[in-house]
Structure 1
Amino acid sequence: MDKVLSFHAGRLPLLVSMPHAGLALTPTVQAGLVEPARGLPDTDWHIPQLYDFVGELGASVVAAQYSRFVIDLNRPDDDKPLYVGATTGLYPATLFEGEPLFKDGQAPSAEERAGYLAQIWRPYHDTLRQELERLRAEFGYALLWDAHSIRSHIPHLFDGKLPDFNLGTFNGASCDAQLAERLQAVCAQAPNYSHVLNGRFKGGHITRHYGDPAQHIHAVQLELAQSTYMNEVAPFEYREDLARPTQAVLRQLLETLLDWGKARYGR
């Protein structure tokens, strides 16, 4: 397997994770996809570009290189469902609209998928775990921001239009309550944007598994409506005019995260 992730170690106690930004496909997955899936419509498009300021902030960054159509890095390795109702699994079988992802008989084999788990999923999670351990050892705590985006209208997954900023803390279990309140306040003060805390998206496996306030690891997922920074239909162009004000809010959210950590832990 070739390069499966990119990683940059920062100088602050913050790790930004981008598990669904990858575009690479294995030969089997590429050959088996149905025509509507070939444009990778369910990608968290342009997330590295949208968050290009995090290096300047001094945060660590880990980003997937392979598409979620190969294996979903934000699902547990036992593939237990995270949400009630329509969702996608560790090895997605459907598009977000509910249509089959693969042509009949052309999904990867169990042996191939075991390889994806060992060679793509595990290195990403090993990197997450090791970097969070490094940050906690150095600073006494670690902050994890799991960066996602999704189309604002997907009737198969949720009713109506999704709020712009969807913060998830696994119903308060993955981070300190005061931190969640401060992040909500940032969103509430952002003009022209809607937000919700623990709505349809409460945080996937990464947020739930690594967020552990009792052990001084605070994790937050942001599911951002793609209408805030891009065109939501193919070819999914990045829109600088939309992205610029959205980036300002994202930067304020991450700065608030860091300020809270410094006030709470003294460094």
Structure 2
Amino acid sequence: MRIVRDFETETAFEVVAPEAVLCPFMFNSPHSGSRYPASFLAASRLDPQRIRRSEDAFVDELFASALTHGAPLMRANFPRAFLDVNREPYELDPKMFAGRLPSYANIRSLRVAGGLGTIARIVAEHEEIYAGPLDVDEALQRIERIYKPYHATLRRWLARQHVTFGYAVLIDCHSMPSLIRGMDNRNRPDFVLGDRYGTSCGASLVDGAVEILRSLGYAVARNKPYAGGFITEHYGRPGKGLHALQVEINRGLYMNEETYERTDQFERLVRDLGLFVAEITALGGSGLRAEPLAAE
């Protein structure tokens, strides 16, 4: 964790790009940010350790090999507990705020009901973040100043990939707790790949990703319990040559979930994910391009 003044003077997110973009893939790490504004921490009822429960720690580092293989990597510096760009822009819980939300806010989504909207009410394990009501204007400023520029940048890069290569592939990179609610923990997966049940990504690419990870010795599940969030659903349009695949990594593979420290297995996972990135970026072909429009 790094404490910062704000995201006016601090860079909220960045795209790290290779000297030459050599493939249609883009990697995105929207939840690995660990720079916490001092005012946000002051408004929270949680200590610095507990507020990190939702953080996908080190995921951007795990996928840093994307650059080696000619793919850009986008990463958030702001934490998920502060703002979640893997949500609709206005999934907001009115009970959290002092003041009236705009009429277009989505206040009834399942994610809002669970406390994990665009501005989250809780971190993992259902711990309330804020000591008191948050000003509505503060929430809307986070969306205007960070959320919207984040997605504008992501769209621009994917459009560039699509124009250059004829199709684009977004790998949305996340981590998950080692103990997953609703699953038999004796058989918990190392990875969960989410393609919104076949709607966000070409099947050949997902099949290839599963095969690569299993060949490296990992247990892989598909869509359960994580089928992909807003980013996967929103950007995945296989019929238009736009593919989005969510990758969830079991945190127990590489970190101590209590102390937020890398374990001795961290470097091994970095090497294995380097092999994964090398092989998946080599996949492709005409089957991932936009389908031609039917004749009238």
Same fold (TM over 0.5): yes
Letter in 2 for 1:257: I
Deviations 1:105-128 (A, max 9, x none): 2x4311000000011111111111
1:62 aligns with 2:74: yes
| 1:30 alignment partner in structure 2 | 41
- TM-score, normalised via structure 1 length: 0.89
What does 1:1-267 correspond to in 2, within 5 Å?
Answer: 1-2=8-9, 3-10=11-18, 11=21, 12-36=23-47, 38-39=49-50, 40-79=52-91, 81=109, 86=114, 88-103=116-131, 105=132, 107-153=133-179, 155=181, 158-161=182-185, 162-191=188-217, 193-234=218-259, 236-239=260-263, 241-262=264-285, 264=287
Query: Alignment partner of 2:232: what SS?
Result: helix
Q: Hey, what's the Cα distance between the residues in 1 that align with 2:286 and 2:159?
A: 20
CA positional deviation for 1:154 = 5.1
CA positional deviation for 1:129 = 0.1
CA positional deviation for 1:37 = 5.3
Q: Is the 8 A contact 1:8 1:62 kept in 2?
A: yes
Q: Hey, what's the Cα distance between the residues in 1 that align with 2:286 and 2:266?
A: 30
Q: Is the 8 A contact 2:115 2:122 kept in 1?
A: no
Q: Which moved more, 1:78-87 or 1:166-175?
A: 78-87
Q: Is the 8 A contact 2:172 2:232 kept in 1?
A: yes
Query: Alignment partner of 1:97: what SS?
Result: helix
| 2:4 alignment partner in structure 1 | none
- TM-score, normalised via structure 2 length: 0.80
Query: Alignment partner of 1:62: what SS?
Result: strand
Query: Alignment partner of 1:55: what SS?
Result: helix
Q: Hey, what's the Cα distance between the residues in 2 that align with 1:18 and 1:142?
A: 17
CA positional deviation for 1:263 = 6.4
Q: Hey, what's the Cα distance between the residues in 2 that align with 1:49 and 1:42?
A: 17
Letter in 1 for 2:45: V
Question: Can you give the 5+ residue segments of structure 2 that lack an aligned partner in the other structure?
Answer: 1-7, 92-105, 290-296
Letter in 2 for 1:13: P
Q: 1:186 to 1:202 in 2, by over 3 A?
A: same
Structure with greater proportional strand content = 2
Q: Is the 8 A contact 2:65 2:277 kept in 1?
A: no
Q: Which moved more, 1:8-17 or 1:193-202?
A: 8-17
Report how many aligned residue pairs link the two structures. 259
Q: Hey, what's the Cα distance between the residues in 2 that align with 1:135 and 1:9?
A: 12
